[in-house]
A and B are shown apart, each in its own frame.
Chain A
Amino acid sequence: MLSFSEQLPIVFNSLNVGFLQTLKLFLVTLAGSIPLGLIISFGSMSRFKPISAFSKTLVWVVRGTPLMIQLLIVYYFPGLVLHNPIWGGDESGRFFAAAVAFILNYACYFSEIYRGGIQGVPLGQQEAGQVLGLSKTQIFFKITLLQMIKRIVPPMSNEIITLVKDTSLARIIALQEIIWAGQSFMKGSQGISGQIWPLFFTGVYYLVFSGILTVLFNKVEKKLDYFKT
């Protein structure tokens, strides 16, 4: 049996490796879902009925079912039902599957926040752009976008901090993120077993990380304080 001081470096090493995977999933999810959410929100605002119906149904299904089930379906459906295991059985395969499920899930939540943000910008702003002869694209990028961003920073930061903790759901498909790493010392790993404190300690990682994000979002909010909408 290793002494506590002998356990420490082994545990922290494992947790750090796990956290890196958590961080990777977090960043990849944001990178994918922030733009995809915009496409879905344009879809649900589209005047072309089939597109808006599709987008709204997608948002309904994704928001109406647990993310955990979505992870299981994305990971197992191709192999078990279609007999075409596209993800492969290794860690990188599990990561891809998790990333796809997370991106889709968060894109749907983001799309609704975007929609609220875009529709919250007064119509007069768009019309002012129109009478100045600007195109729809110019109006969106040069006039609407920043005003929308200002409006969505608080709800987005809320959602993004939820994402930090939601990444732990990926262990349902055995992705080796930080909770998985902490848990491994209960069953036994690297000469340590029956220890629950590493699992509890993962909470500190989440807390510090969401603390950093909170500071960051406050900065963004302050930065956009110079104008009023």
Chain B
Amino acid sequence: MALLEVKNICKSFGKTEVLKGIDFSIEKGEALSIIGSSGSGKTTLLRCLNFLETSDSGTITVDGEILFDGAENIKLSDDKIRKNRLNFGLVFQNFNLFPQYTVLKNLTLAPTLLKKGDSATIEAKAKEIIKKVGLEDKVDFYPCQLSGGQQQRVAIARALMLSPKILCFDEPTSALDPELTGEVLRVIRELKDENTTMIIVTHEMNFAKNVSDKVIFMADGVIEEMGPPEQIFDNPQSKRLQEFLYSSLNK
């Protein structure tokens, strides 16, 4: 059974249809990359999965549990939404670290507030995770004292603290200077090697090709093409994907 199953997700903002029926599924340990031009609905799809937006229709199922069913037509309670969100982690394009807290406190804040253990356990876990992203010497720094790449690694560590079943990345390197993208991509690759289930919205075509088990190409709110990276990048079928790849290669 698939870890995540998404069926017929639609989302409109006013009269603008952003998602027009999205279907896909991923298995445990898989990495899925979503590519496509700006405005194709990639970010909105991630936001629907993380319940920052509520889909208009369709179903979202994780581990056999239906988190959202548009057919039920009921407004989810705040508690239910909070519970649903914990299945997913989200790393933002702009990091969104909490500026008033140190790196360590950024990591421990949510687990502490959600009572995920005593403070010693949470702190030990934070130090272990921060080591994994290579920033153990920065635990007492504030976000403004870190480079963009370091901030994004902290943001990844913060998302890992709650051990989400599926970790989502929304263009994790788009706000970074080119020389800083490598350190972030390296961390994501290591997570992949540990069989973390991930959904990565990205413009880094080479990275998507190397790290993913499956790639989705989105255009105008639909999945235009989906398949293993070799097929998507080396043998694209649809004309739009061919054009997209051609223009991103020639940037």
Residues on A facing B (Cβ under 8 Å)? 122, 124-125, 127-136, 138, 142-143, 146-147, 150, 226-229
Contact = CB atoms under 8 A, between A and B. Distances in A.
Tell me if A's interface is mostly helix, strand, loop or mixed: helix
Contact of A131 (B50, B94, B109, B143): B50
A127 B89 CA distance: 12
Interface string B155-180: 00011001000000000000000000
A125 B50 contact: no
Given A127-B52, A134-B82, 15 more contacts: A125-B96, A125-B98, A127-B96, A128-B96, A130-B52, A131-B88, A132-B159, A133-B82, A133-B83, A133-B86, A134-B113, A136-B78, A142-B113, A150-B100, A227-B142
A130 B162 CA distance: 13
A130 B85 contact: yes
5 contacts: A127-B96, A130-B85, A134-B82, A135-B78, A147-B100
Nearest to A139: B113
A138 B113 contact: yes
A131 B85 contact: yes
B7 to A, nearest CB: 22
A128 B98 contact: yes
A227 B86 CA distance: 28
B249 interface: no
B98 A133 contact: no
In order of increasing CB-CB distance, the 3 nearest A-B pairs are A132-B110, A128-B96, A124-B96
B74 interface: no
Contacts of A133: 82-83, 85-86, 110, 114, 162
A152 to B, nearest CB: 14
B92 interface: yes
Interface of B: 50-52, 78, 82-83, 85-86, 88-90, 92, 94, 96-100, 109-110, 113-114, 142-144, 158-159, 162
B100 A134 contact: no
A117 to B, nearest CB: 14
A124 B92 contact: yes
Nearest to A126: B96
Contacts of A136: 78
Given A124-B96, A127-B92, A227-B99, A134 B78 contact: no
A131 B99 CA distance: 17
A191 B113 CA distance: 66
A171 to B, nearest CB: 43
A49 to B, nearest CB: 18
Contacts of B83: 133
Contacts of A129: 110
B89 A147 contact: no
| From B97, B110, B143, residue with most partner A Cβ within 10 Å | B110
Nearest to B97: A128
Contact of B142 (A124, A142, A226): A226
A17 to B, nearest CB: 43
A43 to B, nearest CB: 20
A131 B90 contact: yes
A226 B100 CA distance: 8
A130 B49 CA distance: 13
A133 to B, nearest CB: 5
B81 to A, nearest CB: 8
A226 B109 CA distance: 19
A226 B141 CA distance: 11
A124 B86 contact: no
B82 A135 contact: yes
Contacts of B96: 122, 124-125, 127-128
